[in-house]
Structure 1
Amino acid sequence: MRIRVQEQPFDLGVESAAFASGHRDMGAIVTFTGIVRDLPDDPMEAMEIEHYPAMTEKAIAQMAEEARARFSLGDVLVIHRYGRLVPGEMIMMVATAARHRKDAFEAATYLMDYLKSRAPFWKREISATGSAWVAATDADEDALSRW
């Protein structure tokens, strides 16, 4: 299990290949990459993401450990960036390895839902008309109800 909270960009191909190598006993690897998306009505210049390192890494590690136990995962990778990101940049990556594809897919979805709603990051969207902190949505909270 690897958790990385970092400011610098990551190379999706390199990370995916490194994660997949050596998992001879796993039958499925699932990856998801989140990208900063633009705002439809007010083009976003950037998203600024803040966090408290000790709290963030501990919370994400706990989520990953819960996913590993719940879905019988062989391995988990979570990379989440912070700092100033612009639309189109990769913000996070989740990778799961399991003996069977259903567990790998469900674990990745579980982690994405929990990262979106429970990881202690503070996000501020900045546009030409101002800035606003991003609040959790009802849809994000509803996604957790299936787990």
Structure 2
Amino acid sequence: MRDVRLTETGFSPADELGVFARAHDASGAIASFTGQVRPGGGVLALELTHYAPLTLPGMEKIAQEAQNRFTLAGLLALHRVGKMLPGEPIVVVAAAAAHRRDAIQAVDFMMDHLKSAAWFWKREQRNDGWHWISPRSVDHADLARWN
């Protein structure tokens, strides 16, 4: 089972993970990651935009690569776009597998690719206006380790 979605509205990571866990109650391991807008640092809001014809198909391709690379019973990738406030969830990724290593590595693989290779553009609103955010060199290094 693969569930890959984009949403313009808020979501509850706990609810999403609960549904995923119930769907994969026979798996020996479920690993997950939830990313949220960092509070502090003068950030008032975060806005993610995307190119609709490529974003969801690109996410699907990344998810298929994860399923090809790791032995998984299921995979969830839910990513938000639009304007978000500090503390609000941006992304939740979960993987179910017979064993922990596949689940953990699949989540790590998905996040490294979503962070640096997906069709999202990020900007932060601070007191002095909007600022575009680019992937950091460490993000590119994290992505490169999967090659």
Q: Structure 2, unaligned stretches of length 5 or more?
A: none
1:90 maps to which residue?
Answer: 89
1:47 maps to which residue?
Answer: 46
Q: Structure 1, unaligned stretches of length 5 or more?
A: none
Give me the TM-score of the superposition, normalised by structure 1: 0.94
Question: Aligned-pair distance for 1:14?
Answer: 1.4
After the TM superposition, list the runs of 4 or more consecutive aligned residues in structure 1 that deviate by more than 4 angstroms: none
Question: Aligned-pair distance for 1:3?
Answer: 0.8
The alignment status of 1:8 with 2:37, answered yes or no, reads no
Query: Cα–Cα, structure 1 residues 100 and 83, in superposed 2: closer, same or farther, change >3 Å?
Result: same
Q: How does 1:19-30 map to 2 (within 5 A)?
A: 19-30=20-31
2:34 maps to which residue?
Answer: 33
Question: Aligned-pair distance for 1:54?
Answer: 2.5
**Aligned-residue CA RMSD (Å):** 1.2
Q: How does 1:1-147 map to 2 (within 5 A)?
A: 1-38=2-39, 40=41, 43-147=42-146
Aligned residues: 145
Alpha-carbon separation, structure 1, partners of 2:25 and 2:10: 29
Question: Aligned-pair distance for 1:37?
Answer: 0.8
Give me the TM-score of the superposition, normalised by structure 2: 0.94
Letter in 2 for 1:21: R
Question: Aligned-pair distance for 1:28?
Answer: 0.5
Question: Aligned-pair distance for 1:38?
Answer: 3.6
Question: Aligned-pair distance for 1:145?
Answer: 2.2
